[in-house]
Amino acid sequence: MTITARRLALMGGVAASLLAAAAAHAAPAPAPASAPAAQNRAAAAALPALPDVSIPFTKMVLPNGLTLIVHEDHKAPIVAVNIWYHVGSKNEPVGRSGFAHLFEHLMFNGSENYNNDFFKGTELLGATDQNGTTNTDRTNYFQNVPTSALDSILWLESDRMGHLLGAIDQARLDEQRGVVQNEKRQGENQPYGRVWDAITNATYPADHPYGHTVIGSMDDLNAADLDTVKAWFRDYYGAANAVIVLAGDITPEEARAKVERYFGDIPSGPPVTHANQMIAKMTGAQSETMYDRVGQPRLYKVWNTPPTGTADADYLGMLGQVLSAGRNSRLYKRLVFDDQIATSVGAFNSEAEIGSQFLVMVTAKPGQDLNRIEAIVDEEMAKLLRDGPTADELERARTNVGAAFIRGSERIGGFGGKSDILAESQVYLGDPGAWKVGYDRILAARPADLTAAGRAWLTDGSYALSVLPFPDYKVAATDVDRSKGVPTPGAVPAADFPDIEHATLSNGLKVVLASRDGVPTVSMNLIVNAGSAADAADKAGIAQLAPAVMTNGTKTLDALQISDRVQLLGASLGAGSATDYSSVSLTALTPRLAPSLDLFADIIENPAFRADDFTRAQAQQVSGIQQANRNPGAIANRILAADVYGPQSPYGRPTSGTEQSVAALTPADAKAFHDTWFRPDNATLVVVGDISMAELKTQLERALGGWRAPSTPLPVKAPVVTATPPAKPRVLIVDRAGPQSIITAGRLAPAFDAAAQPAQVAFNTALGGAFTSRINMNLREDKHWSYGAGAGVRTANGPRLFAATAAVQADKTAESAAEVRRELSEVVGSRPVTEAELSAVKANLIQGMAGDWETNASVMGDLTQMVVFGLPENYYDGYAAGVNATTPQSASVAARAIVGDGPTTWVVVGDRAAIEPKIRALNLGEVQVVDTEGRPVN
């Protein structure tokens, strides 16, 4: 259950989701400033046009006022059910902030005829992509279910729409109030977590509908009572204030019959007044400075702008693309690429129903002056608004938006899926097809349109927030004995898995294809048999850094030229590494596969490893490590792995390396990693998408056939050093003050075993792998000490790390650790997983597989795992049977294998002074205080 922030890149209605998706795919990919603009325009003109986009629908209004929208998509036997209520935090009266979101939580606690946790009902249906979210303007509830379970989910949804009040009592209100308050604490405990409160308070008058945050204040949450709950339901949850979208394996006729059957008797509710436009236009310039526990300074600049669905809102979104999407964008090129004083930039128009906000965010390198960065932002925006965007910039933005939307429209449900797009357009703009107006407007936009919108809204009325790192203050030793009282003054002085095909190219490169024709895209991932486990101890991080540098420049293209080609092609590039493999990936539009593949091949075969490209990628990796070192969860995970695996095992080292190890790496190290491991006889190319094996092989032979293995023998990876876990249990405490503590407990589990995996997954799902798992239900739902808790096993080819983790309120740290210990002990002893628990787990895992491979990305992920772990080709075909065959006895075998005698290491990140005495009293093991790197402190 989630709060959706209006001020994140998911925009409302028309072009909002389109631009947000484009921004999400605009991570820097390589390309050079030296290519003449005329050549770029000629290249763009020669490319095939973007494929047409449509989301056909049928709209109906039932006699009780409920709006029904149906979209047919029969590629998988699933249906997305997405219900939007036209009510959000802007409808909250004074003194009731946070109530829309609190009520969303109550909707999951049971209804009059299903008086149980909603997720317990949906897991039996195999529901996936399920959640509930609240923003300023609407509250929604959604999930995908197998077609065979549609009647069941419609019964559940209609029961809570029409029959809720009798199931709500004071105990449930108190429980969810506690959960929401923990969610608030968790959000505010993250780096930059207090920013949105500051922006909201500074950019809206207190009496404006957007003048308070969606999460609300602690005082208002404490004041929520049952009378307010019931009034909210009666006022806003009537049928006439709701939209239900059914997308997937269903016809309009079937949909209407089912929805009328289950929802037709629900009253319409009273009329609800909806504001159309309330733009809080600011004048002049405001600024504030905030200190937070962050690794890098960050600048936010905000302007209030027109609501979603307006032409200016769409054009301002395009200006955000020009400013920050890709390495050639104005702000990225100036601040990150050229001047190298920032590590990331973002600019977007965050649209909402009655008013929007245009935001610019720049994360500076440590030590850089935000005043200088703000001056550069102002300078670049002034140039853009004076001269307007170039034709090349506009074309890149068009392709970026179009390609991202095409990729996103593959999904029927979940965030940004087709059901979400149709519901959003209906609720905000009164027409399920209104998104197309904005999409077409964006594709037809002229430079003058963007310039005019920018001049109208971005030249006056700004708010700037500078977030600066709070220094790591230390206390000093003292010899004062306060028991002696105040010193006497002296003398006065002067801080179902798709079918798989195999092929081998002439150069020995193995190819695995899952052909899918639903969307005109092709995705591929080159898997190289060497990951961070192959890193020498003094070269830790090179497996992650080398592929990143590869995408920064080839022998004929520099970083800016690569970035420009990627954007013009509507493609996306990626690179990275895991413990056991490294990869370079490409997603391309099918009509533009050939030129995209040429670029992919050039990156794989001819990386240049120039010093400036290397330095930029190295700085980004170091920056990521620094950010992780400020995150309490990342700190706990890193220390746990190092302690459980032991000092000699590469599995205990972070894939990214350390600040020190990465800073010591050189371009020669990156080149050596590439030359040693990136060779066709040490790689497999996994491909998913709209292409046949015959066509793919022809394309690959043309583009990659010339890539040859060197004459030297294929190196043999050094064997992974056997893990050496601690000889006896111990507790490592990291001192970090805050409203929450992180608790994680772990031990070594056996290496991956395909035969044992289904039972192990079933067991772990019951213990800590689902919302309704034992650990989460205990700490979140029963005790409401945590927003979320769980357990899992890290994937690896060698010994795997099992960990149970929870973020808990600080004053319940020891009590929560005691509950985790009890759950782990009882599941292998006095309270093993029961048949009833396994029945629920099986229903959830097996039925949920109907939508597991809806997207190319999900198929790619599992196909990659098949290659990396050497799984049999029928592994996923038999996976459901394996899960279904799990018995309480085989679950107990899995429990003993994974949990064993309990954790060998506990890591607790929190306020040492407040938590240490109680932690020691638990006798979990020998207690040691360590710093954020795991080193003992006095």
Please give the pLDDT value at position 48: 84
Residues 556 and 687 in one domain: yes
Q: Is pLDDT at 23 greater than 90 in this prediction?
A: no
Q: What is the DSSP letter of 2?
A: E
pLDDT digits (tens, 9 = 90+) for 94-112: 999 999 999 999 999 999 9
Strands laid side by side in the 926-930 sheet: 786-793, 800-809, 740-749, 905-910, 730-735, 926-930
Both tokens assigned to 441:
């407007």
Q: How far is residue 525's CA from residue 545's CA, in Å, rounded to a whole number?
A: 17
Please give the pLDDT value at position 798: 83
Q: How far is residue 454's CA from residue 462's CA, in Å, rounded to a whole number?
A: 13
Residues 557 and 695 in one domain: yes
Q: Is 128 strand, coil or helix?
A: strand
End-to-end CA distance of the chain: 42
Q: Nearest-CA neighbor of 113 among 152, 146, 144?
A: 152
pLDDT digits (tens, 9 = 90+) for 575-600: 999 999 999 999 999 999 999 999 99
Amino acid at 838: L
Rounded to an integer, the average pLDDT of 298-325 is 97
Buried b (16+ CB within 10 A) or exposed e, 271-296: eeeeeeeeebebeeeeeeebebbbbb
Residues 243 and 371 in one domain: no
Q: Tokens 């009833």 map to which residue? A: 836
Q: How far is residue 614's CA from residue 552's CA, in Å, rounded to a whole number?
A: 8
Q: Is pLDDT at 45 greater than 90 in this prediction?
A: no
Give 563-574 as a DSSP string. Answer: HHHHHHHT-EEE
Please give the pLDDT value at position 778: 97
Contacts of residue 830, defined as CB under 8 A and 6 or more positions apart, other chains included, come to: none
Please give the pLDDT value at position 17: 42
Q: Give the other-Cβ count within 10 Å of 582's Cβ.
A: 28
Q: How far is residue 267's CA from residue 234's CA, in Å, rounded to a whole number?
A: 10
φ, ψ (nearest 5 deg) of residue 759:
-70, -35
Q: How confident is the model at residue 491 (pLDDT cuts 50, 70, 90)?
A: low
φ, ψ (nearest 5 deg) of residue 247:
-125, 130
CA angle 315, 319, 324 (to 5 degrees): 150
Q: Are 73 and 247 in contact (CB under 8 A)?
A: yes
Q: Is pLDDT at 191 greater than 90 in this prediction?
A: yes
Q: Write the CA distances from 385 to 97, 286, 306, 323, integer angstroms.
A: 38, 21, 18, 11
Contacts of residue 249, defined as CB under 8 A and 6 or more positions apart, other chains included, come to: 73, 74, 76, 77, 78, 79, 147
Residue 178 resides in a domain? yes
Q: Are 854 and 410 in contact (CB under 8 A)?
A: yes
Domain that holds residue 377: 277-406+426-469
Strand ranges, E, within 19-135: 58-61, 67-72, 78-85, 128-134
Q: Are 730 and 927 in contact (CB under 8 A)?
A: yes
Handedness of CA 781, 785, 787, 792 (dihedral sign): negative
Q: Is pLDDT at 219 greater than 60 in this prediction?
A: yes
pLDDT digits (tens, 9 = 90+) for 240-267: 999 999 999 999 999 999 999 999 999 9
Residue 495 resides in a domain? no
Please give the pLDDT value at position 161: 98
Q: Is pLDDT at 41 greater than 80 in this prediction?
A: no
Q: Nearest-CA neighbor of 142 among 340, 288, 1?
A: 1
Q: How far is residue 885's CA from residue 95's CA, in Å, rounded to a whole number?
A: 53
pLDDT digits (tens, 9 = 90+) for 612-640: 999 999 999 999 999 999 999 999 999 99
Please report how the helices 99-106 and 170-188 are oriented relative to each other, as an axis angle in degrees rounded to 10.
120
Both tokens assigned to 585:
């990936």
Q: Is pLDDT at 30 greater than 80 in this prediction?
A: no
Give 51-81 as a DSSP string. Answer: PP-----EEEE-TTS-EEEEEE--SSSEEEE
Q: Are 345 and 380 in contact (CB under 8 A)?
A: no
Q: How far is residue 745's CA from residue 641's CA, in Å, rounded to a whole number?
A: 10
Amino acid at 511: V
pLDDT digits (tens, 9 = 90+) for 387-403: 999 999 999 998 988 88
Strands laid side by side in the 285-292 sheet: 285-292, 462-469, 298-305, 356-364, 342-350
Buried b (16+ CB within 10 A) or exposed e, 327-355: bbbbbbbbbbbeeebbbbbbbbbbbbbbb
Compute the residue count for the chain. Answer: 938
Q: Nearest-CA neighbor of 346 among 571, 586, 574, 19?
A: 19
Q: How confident is the model at residue 12 (pLDDT cuts 50, 70, 90)?
A: very low
Residue 476 resides in a domain? no
φ, ψ (nearest 5 deg) of residue 80:
-85, 130
Q: Which of 263, 292, 308 delimits the end of a domain?
A: 263
Residues 324 and 203 in one domain: no
Residue 757 resides in a domain? yes
pLDDT digits (tens, 9 = 90+) for 824-873: 999 999 999 999 999 999 988 988 888 889 899 999 999 999 999 999 98
Helices and strands in the chain, H and E counts: 33, 24
Residues 773 and 882 in one domain: yes
Rounded to an integer, the average pLDDT of 671-678 is 97
Residue bearing the bigger pLDDT, 30 or 409 = 409
φ, ψ (nearest 5 deg) of residue 281:
-60, 130
How many domains in the chain?
4
Please give the pLDDT value at position 43: 58
Q: Are 566 and 592 in contact (CB under 8 A)?
A: no
Residue 711 resides in a domain? no
Residues 179 and 83 in one domain: yes
Per DSSP, what are the bridge partners of residue 291? Answer: 468
Q: Are 243 and 69 in contact (CB under 8 A)?
A: yes
What is the distance of C-alpha 859 from the center of its chain? Answer: 18
Q: How confident is the model at residue 39 (pLDDT cuts 50, 70, 90)?
A: low
Torsion-angle region of residue 284: left (phi > 0), alpha (psi -120 to 50) or beta?
A: left
Both tokens assigned to 44:
């763009």
CA atoms within 13 A on the CB side of 556: 9
Please give the pLDDT value at position 130: 94
Q: Is pLDDT at 214 greater than 80 in this prediction?
A: yes
Please give the pLDDT value at position 80: 98
Q: How far is residue 875's CA from residue 869's CA, in Å, rounded to a whole number?
A: 11
Q: Give the other-Cβ count within 10 Å of 809's Cβ.
A: 22
pLDDT digits (tens, 9 = 90+) for 683-728: 999 999 999 999 999 999 999 999 999 999 988 876 666 778 888 9
Residues 224 and 120 in one domain: yes
Collect contacts of 836-842 with beta carbons under 8 A, ≥24 apart.
837/766, 838/762, 838/766, 838/886, 838/887, 838/888, 838/891, 840/120, 840/123, 840/124, 840/766, 840/772, 841/123, 841/762, 841/765, 841/766, 841/770, 841/883, 841/886, 842/762, 842/883, 842/884, 842/886
Residues 694 and 755 in one domain: no
Residues 807 and 924 in one domain: yes
Residues 440 and 578 in one domain: no
Q: Is pLDDT at 335 greater than 70 in this prediction?
A: yes
Q: Is 576 strand, coil or helix?
A: strand
Buried b (16+ CB within 10 A) or exposed e, 458-486: beebbbbbbbebeeeeeeeeeeeeeeeee
Q: Nearest-CA neighbor of 16 among 403, 430, 405?
A: 405
Please report how the helices 391-408 and 13-24 are oriented relative to each other, as an axis angle in degrees rounded to 10.
100
Q: Is 519 strand, coil or helix?
A: coil
The most distant pair of C-alpha atoms in the chain lies apart, rounded to whole Å, by: 96
Q: How far is residue 710's CA from residue 605's CA, in Å, rounded to a whole number?
A: 12
Residue 488 resides in a domain? no
Q: Is pLDDT at 545 greater than 70 in this prediction?
A: yes
Q: What is the DSSP letter of 555?
A: S
Q: Which of 704, 721, 738 delimits the end of a domain?
A: 704
Please give the pLDDT value at position 52: 83
Residue 643 resides in a domain? yes
pLDDT above 90: percentage of residues in the chain? 85
Residue 694 resides in a domain? yes
Contacts of residue 653, defined as CB under 8 A and 6 or more positions apart, other chains included, come to: 532, 535, 537, 540, 641, 642
Strand ranges, E, within 335-448: 342-350, 356-364
Q: Is pLDDT at 40 greater than 60 in this prediction?
A: no
CATH value at residue 815: 3.30.830.10
Residues 258 and 283 in one domain: no
Residues 163 and 249 in one domain: yes
Both tokens assigned to 257:
């019959």
Rounded to an integer, the average pLDDT of 289-300 is 96
Q: What is the DSSP letter of 357?
A: E
